[in-house]
């Protein structure tokens, strides 16, 4: 991924199946590829967890434009 985590224009969002408004999001490119090397260790563990429990805890992830605050 060419852009750094802070410059990513998209996010890969895993939405909770049971708690509306909860989930995980990770910076990604337009294709949904997350630069794992750019994530911190906790974020990397959260990413792997979210991927592991798709269909049990989280929905399939969606690539969305990143909202900057």
Neighbours of 14 (CB within 10 A): 23
Q: Collect all residues with Cβ–Cβ distance below 8 Å to 53 and sequence separation of at least 6.
A: none
Please report the pLDDT score of residue 67 as a whole number.
78
Residue 3, pLDDT > 70, answer no
Please report the pLDDT score of residue 45 as a whole number.
98
Count of domains observed in the chain: 1
| Rounded distance between C-alpha atoms, residue 35 and residue 63, angstroms | 14
* SS3 label, residue 14: strand
- Residues 5-59: tens digit of each pLDDT: 556 799 999 999 999 989 999 999 999 999 999 999 999 999 999 999 999 999 9
Torsion angle of C-alpha atoms 4, 64, 67, 45, degrees rounded to 10: -50
By residue range, what is the domain housing residue 43? 5-65
């Amino acid at each position: 991924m060419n852009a750094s985590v802070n410059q990513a224009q998209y996010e890969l969002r895993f939405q909770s199946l049971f708690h509306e408004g909860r989930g995980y999001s990770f910076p990604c490119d337009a294709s949904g590829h997350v630069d794992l090397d750019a994530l911190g260790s906790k974020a990397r563990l959260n990413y792997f967890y979210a991927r592991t429990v798709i269909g049990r805890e989280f929905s399939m992830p969606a690539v969305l434009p990143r909202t900057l605050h």
